[in-house]
Amino acid sequence: MTEAVQQAPGTHPVDMERPWPFVPFGANLTVDRAEGPYLYTPEGQRILDAAGGAVVGNIGYGRADVTEAMAAAVRRFGYVVPPFQTDSRLRLVERLRDRWLPPGLDRVHLNSGGTEAMEVALKLARQVHVARGEPQRRVVIGRDLSYHGASIMTLAVGGHAERRAGFEDWLPDWPKAPPHYCLRCPLGLSRPTCGTACVDAIDRLIGETGPQNVAAVIAEPVVGSSGGSFVPPDDYWPRLREICSRHGVLLIADEVMSGFGRTGAKFAVDHWNVVPDILVGGKGMSGGYAPIAGVYAGEELARPLAETGQQLMYYTYGGHPAACAAADAVLEIMEREDMVARVAALEPRMEAALAPLRQHPNVAEVRGKGLLWSIEMVRDRDTLERFPVEAGLSFKVVSEGLSRGVFFYPGGTKVHRDIVTLGPPFVVTEADIDLIGAVLRESIDAAVAACG
Ligand SMILES: Cc1ncc(COP(=O)(O)O)c(C=O)c1O
């Protein structure tokens, strides 16, 4: 038997020879319970979860309404095959249609997580073109510094170098557009004189590929942790909408991270009054209480499939009754407690708490929206030189934060690195936010010092 070298009081012993993650992760913690925005270790240490887990937790942890709704669903049905209707499925879909989704997106397909949902969104785009008699539309244009999931096809359309590494031969070599990464503009331009040329680049790529060959453009409206909270210029999404419509290309908005209130609107696309053809939400949809994500589209995409007898294949656990009950309860709490407005109201406090970091010698940029923020660190502020990969600066900051009682999320793609992302539960107080700013500064100082 492998020796258990670490045992926290009252818990199962930790087997250090065969750690819980398949291979060890850069930072480690045993969590005993969670409440509000806090995690508690078995020793009773309280950790402020400034990342909401993986930018998932929104209503805070330990809400009895949610656990009771889930328990009731499991008591009634252990499992019901996804195409059948249950009370919790119907209630969730009705709530989404009536109170959350952009106008016209009233067809819902439920999955167990963001990757599954993104994969379904890609298949849906392809199936629609086939059903409409345009089978040559197969190329999907994504962007550099993006993440859409860990399956092969979602890796293919994403721009996450580290997660694609080793799989390149399996990934279709489709065009990638430059991101709106204004700190280091890939086009060598600067705001405001750039004219948002990065969105014109998508128009150009569609033209070069041949619009008749392009199925979809896929993008995160506010880029999550891969880029580190890139917020687009205000004209970006309206122009992207126009470009896609003009070419008959479907626009897929990946709001797995930015959706369900995270940026201070129900969905980030709402900031610019844009309705994509396909919207994908996950993470905050159930606040982390249950695995669930959704693909949302309109009648004009559902009809061609129905007319040609095509299914949008479900996965066994898609729309599990307990996950639907959890999501329904979480969204109900968000509505009752007006949490999307709370996120918008807390944005200035977050910005103020992080503002001192803007002067930090090793911080190049502080950026974000709502309660989705990132800090990009550099060795040299003037040249924007990064720390070496081996320094693992983001993980060092995460470890330093944990030792000071705050959890931050490591971001970047390895090539693009030294990013720390913040996505706290919406129930954080102003004092919690101030603490996040103060501890982040101390953690960066300590991590940079450890890099030598
Ligand atoms: C924007 C975005 N899309 C897709 C995914 C994949 O979601 P999941 O990890 O639930 O499969 C993520 C996960 O971080 C994400 O941030």
Q: Could you tell which of 55, 111, 147, 258 is best to mutate to test the pocket of ligand 1, judged by most ligand atoms within 8 Å of the CB?
A: 147
In the reported structure, the alpha carbon of residue 256 is separated from the centroid of ligand 1 by a whole-number distance in angstroms of 6
| Amino acid letter, 255 | E
Closest approach atom of ligand 1 to CA 293: 10
What pLDDT sits at residue 18?
A: 83
What 3-state DSSP class applies to 164? helix
Report how far residue 84's alpha carbon sits from residue 86's, in angstroms, rounded to the nearest whole number: 7
What pLDDT sits at residue 2?
A: 43
What pLDDT sits at residue 272?
A: 98
Give the pair of three-digit tokens for residue 57: 């937790």
- How do strand 293-297 and strand 107-111 relate by DSSP bridges? antiparallel
In 160-233, which residue ranges form alpha helices assigned H by DSSP? 161-164, 197-209
Q: Does residue 281 have its Cβ closer than 6 Å to ligand 1?
A: no
Report how far residue 217's alpha carbon sits from residue 292's, in angstroms, rounded to the nearest whole number: 24
CB 40 within 8 Å of CB 47: yes
Report how far residue 418's alpha carbon sits from residue 118's, in angstroms, rounded to the nearest whole number: 27
| Amino acid letter, 167 | F
Report how far residue 180's alpha carbon sits from residue 321's, in angstroms, rounded to the nearest whole number: 39
CB proximity list for 376: less than 8 A, separation 6 or greater: 183, 228, 363, 364, 365, 367, 418, 419
Q: Catalogue all structural domains in the chain, each as residue range(s) with its CATH number.
A: 33-59+339-451 (3.90.1150.10), 64-336 (3.40.640.10)
Report how far residue 168's alpha carbon sits from residue 161's, in angstroms, rounded to the nearest whole number: 10
Angle of helix 339-354 relative to helix 430-451, nearest 10 degrees? 40
Closest CA to 435 of 397, 399, 393, 404: 404
Report how far residue 94's alpha carbon sits from residue 388's, in angstroms, rounded to the nearest whole number: 50
In the reported structure, the alpha carbon of residue 147 is separated from the centroid of ligand 1 by a whole-number distance in angstroms of 7
In the reported structure, the alpha carbon of residue 65 is separated from the centroid of ligand 1 by a whole-number distance in angstroms of 26
Q: In order along the chain (452 residues), what is the average pLDDT of each group of 10 residues?
A: 53 77 83 97 95 98 97 95 96 98 97 98 98 98 98 98 96 97 98 97 98 98 97 98 98 98 98 98 98 98 96 95 98 98 98 98 98 98 96 96 97 96 98 98 98 86
Q: Does residue 163 have its Cβ closer than 6 Å to ligand 1?
A: no
What pLDDT sits at residue 14?
A: 76
Report how far residue 405's alpha carbon sits from residue 45's, in angstroms, rounded to the nearest whole number: 8
Query: Which class for 95: exposed (0-12), middle (13-18), buried (19 or more C-beta within 10 A)?
Result: middle
- In which element (H, E) is residue 69 found? helix 64-76
Q: Does residue 262 have its Cβ closer than 6 Å to ligand 1?
A: no
Q: Whose CA is nearest to atom 4 of ligand 1?
A: 148
Starting from the edge strand earliest in sequence, which strands make up the sheet with 372-377, in order?
363-369, 372-377, 419-422, 409-411
> What region does 376 belong to: left with phi over 0, alpha with psi -120 to 50, or beta?
beta
CA torsion through residues 392, 357, 41, 370, sign: negative
